[in-house]
């Protein structure tokens, strides 16, 4: 009886950008790793070979390398191979993760692997356990790997040879700003990012942007590899499972995948098949959330208009929006226009002096006073110049209104484009946030003016009619 050949997952990335090289340090790294008694898979050997490629001067060919593999394939084993090699060669390394549990698990795994190699804690290496701040040092070489959860200021003032970004789909621009300079003092630095495609609740944008930059050939000294499908597949498409899961047929089995199957096709495609959706999932405001607030016909309005004026942070544009209460207790918003500041303020003044406006909120430190004075000349009153605290409140109320569906709009294309392509940014020192555009050609001031108008409309208490009794 002829034994049926065992089917294995795809051992080669479905998409990759690898710079040319003739030498790699991967053989030594794999040898060190396999002293633990574990065997590395062909795809892991191939990927480590690409990551550890060196040029004729012994420098890493890829100063940055990112890779995306569906869950439970052993993507972090690649990191452990690098870290065990780094410890043996005296490197100073920082391993960061999004969650404390992930960071701690990696610390435990590297410690366990050193012990499997016959090394003793306290004699051959030193381990410090402090959740979120673990550390391992190999006495023989002085090699160190620190394990931390990421913050917006973690790593500042420290220097490392190897920076690991685990759970890279959650890596934010603020965290990148704090960490990317930590490897610049090294003579031969490398940053490695690993993760899965982001889901609708993922907070990071760096991983996605890095992928796009690599695939479009615009990244220098950078490499990328991924196991993915280019379009959504059916949940029971077994060929797609093998296409995207290189460890299928090893420790990952069809039976294990069958046990996790549910009804969510998109989630299956992202998490198990490595699918990168082409629509924007990373915006602070999701397109589905925004579109759910659209009204098919204009609602019945109640009361006067509230206006919001925002001068962009770069001082290039000014935007004007209005908000008004509806009969069903919501707030309707609409953008009037967004124009270059070179056009002056007259178009704003002309609208506000003729419209039935209850209150006008103006933000933009460099120009708000100028507009307020111009409106005063036209006897336009009820102007508010908000404080930082009030701006933070306006942004928070905007977010809550979207979640609670107390906001509505008519589906303006310009407002939708900006709203569904935005990130959050820090304001103040006590956890406040504002919004910023993900793209240079979209001005966030357009949405900012709408949220200012919404804030005024939602916070101003209507005047009570005086009752006269006889």
Long-range contacts, 354-359 (Cβ 8 Å, 24+): 355/305, 355/307, 355/322, 356/304, 356/305, 357/304, 357/305, 357/306, 357/307, 357/322, 357/382, 358/303, 358/304, 358/305, 358/306, 358/382, 358/456, 358/460, 359/306, 359/307, 359/383, 359/384, 359/456, 359/460
Q: ∠ at Cα 444 (435, 355), nearest 5°? A: 115
Order across the sheet with 383-384: list the strands. 383-384, 357-363, 301-311, 317-326, 331-340, 407-409
Q: What is the pLDDT along the chain (470 residues), one digit of tens a residue?
A: 555 678 999 999 999 999 999 999 999 999 999 999 999 999 999 999 999 999 999 999 999 999 999 999 999 999 999 999 999 999 999 999 998 889 999 999 999 999 999 999 999 999 998 766 799 999 999 999 999 998 766 555 689 999 999 999 999 888 998 898 899 889 999 999 999 998 767 778 899 989 989 988 888 999 999 999 988 899 999 999 999 999 999 999 999 999 999 888 888 999 999 998 764 456 788 888 999 999 999 999 999 999 999 998 777 899 999 999 999 999 999 999 999 999 999 999 999 999 999 999 999 867 888 999 999 898 888 999 999 999 999 999 999 999 899 999 999 999 999 999 998 888 876 667 889 888 777 889 999 999 999 999 999 765 544 444 44
Position of tokens 């898979």?
41
User: Which alpha helices (DSSP H) does 52-146 contain, by range?
Assistant: 75-88, 100-116
User: Closest Cα to residue 329, out of 305, 308, 302, 304?
Assistant: 302
- The answer to whether residues 65 and 43 touch, using CB atoms and an 8 Å cutoff, is no
- The answer to whether residues 453 and 307 touch, using CB atoms and an 8 Å cutoff, is yes
Q: What region does 60 belong to: left with phi over 0, alpha with psi -120 to 50, or beta?
A: beta
- Dihedral angle of Cα 399, 402, 404, 410, to the nearest 10 degrees: 150
User: Closest Cα to residue 456, out of 284, 354, 325?
Assistant: 325
Nearest-angstrom CA–CA distance, 341 and 302: 32
Position of tokens 């992202």?
270
User: Closest Cα to residue 10, out of 275, 271, 247, 272?
Assistant: 247
114 contact partners, CB below 8 Å, separation of at least 6 = 84, 87, 121, 124, 125, 136, 138
- The alpha carbons of the chain give a radius of gyration, in whole angstroms, of 28
The residues facing 148 across adjacent strands are 96, 133
Domains located in the chain, CATH noted: 15-271 (3.40.50.300), 287-459 (3.30.420.240)
- Dihedral angle of Cα 324, 326, 332, 337, to the nearest 10 degrees: -40
- H or E, element range at 398: helix 388-404
Does the predicted TM-score (pTM) go above 0.85? no
- Dihedral angle of Cα 365, 370, 375, 377, to the nearest 10 degrees: 150
pLDDT value at residue 239: 97
pLDDT value at residue 366: 75
- Cα–Cα separations (whole angstroms), residue 56 to 22, 59, 61, 95, 244: 9, 7, 9, 28, 34
149 contact partners, CB below 8 Å, separation of at least 6 = 96, 97, 98, 99, 100, 103, 132
- The answer to whether residues 157 and 182 touch, using CB atoms and an 8 Å cutoff, is no
């Amino acid at each position: 009886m002829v034994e049926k050949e065992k089917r294995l997952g795809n051992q080669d990335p479905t998409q990759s950008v690898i710079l040319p090289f003739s030498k790699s340090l991967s053989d030594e790294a794999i040898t060190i790793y396999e002293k633990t008694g574990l065997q590395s898979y062909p795809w892991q050997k191939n990927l480590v070979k690409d990551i550890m490629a060196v040029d004729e001067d012994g420098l890493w060919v890829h100063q940055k390398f990112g890779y995306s593999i569906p869950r439970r394939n052993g993507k972090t084993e690649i990191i452990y191979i690098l870290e065990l090699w780094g410890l043996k060669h005296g490197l100073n390394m920082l391993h960061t993760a999004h969650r404390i549990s992930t960071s701690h698990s990696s610390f435990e795994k590297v410690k366990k692997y050193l012990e499997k190699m016959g090394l003793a804690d306290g004699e051959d290496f030193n381990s410090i356990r402090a959740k979120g701040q673990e550390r391992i040092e190999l006495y023989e070489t002085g090699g160190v790997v620190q394990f931390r959860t990421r913050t917006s200021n973690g790593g500042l003032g420290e220097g490392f040879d190897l920076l690991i970004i685990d759970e890279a789909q959650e890596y934010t621009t603020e965290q990148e700003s704090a960490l990317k300079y930590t490897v610049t003092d090294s003579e031969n630095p490398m940053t490695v990012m690993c993760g899965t495609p982001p889901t609708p609740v993922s907070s990071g944008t760096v991983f996605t942007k890095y992928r796009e930059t690599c695939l479009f050939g615009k990244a220098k000294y950078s490499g990328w590899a991924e196991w993915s499908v280019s379009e959504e597949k059916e949940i029971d498409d077994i060929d797609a499972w093998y296409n995207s899961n290189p460890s299928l047929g090893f420790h990952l089995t069809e039976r294990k995948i069958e046990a996790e199957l549910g009804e969510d096709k998109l989630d299956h495609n992202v998490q198990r098949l490595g699918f990168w959706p082409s629509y924007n999932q990373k915006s602070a405001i999701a397109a589905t959330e925004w579109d759910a607030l659209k009204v098919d016909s204009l609602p019945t309005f109640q009361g006067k208009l509230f206006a919001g004026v925002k001068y962009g942070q770069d001082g290039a544009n000014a935007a004007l929006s209005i908000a008004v209460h509806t009969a069903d207790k919501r707030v309707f918003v609409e953008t009037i226009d967004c124009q270059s500041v070179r056009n002056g303020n007259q178009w704003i003044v002309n609208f506000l002096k003729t419209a039935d406006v209850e209150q006008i909120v103006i933000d933009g430190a460099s120009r708000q006073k100028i507009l307020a004075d111009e409106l005063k000349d036209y006897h336009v009153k009820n102007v508010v110049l908000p404080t930082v605290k009030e701006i933070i409140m306006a942004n928070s109320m905007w977010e809550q209104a979207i979640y609670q569906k107390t906001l509505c709009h008519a589906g303006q294309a310009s407002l939708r484009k900006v709203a569904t392509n935005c990130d959050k940014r820090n304001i103040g020192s006590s956890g406040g946030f504002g919004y910023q555009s993900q793209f240079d050609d979209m001005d966030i001031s357009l949405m900012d003016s709408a949220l200012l108008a919404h804030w005024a409309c939602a916070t101003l208490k209507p005047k009570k009619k005086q009752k006269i009794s006889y």
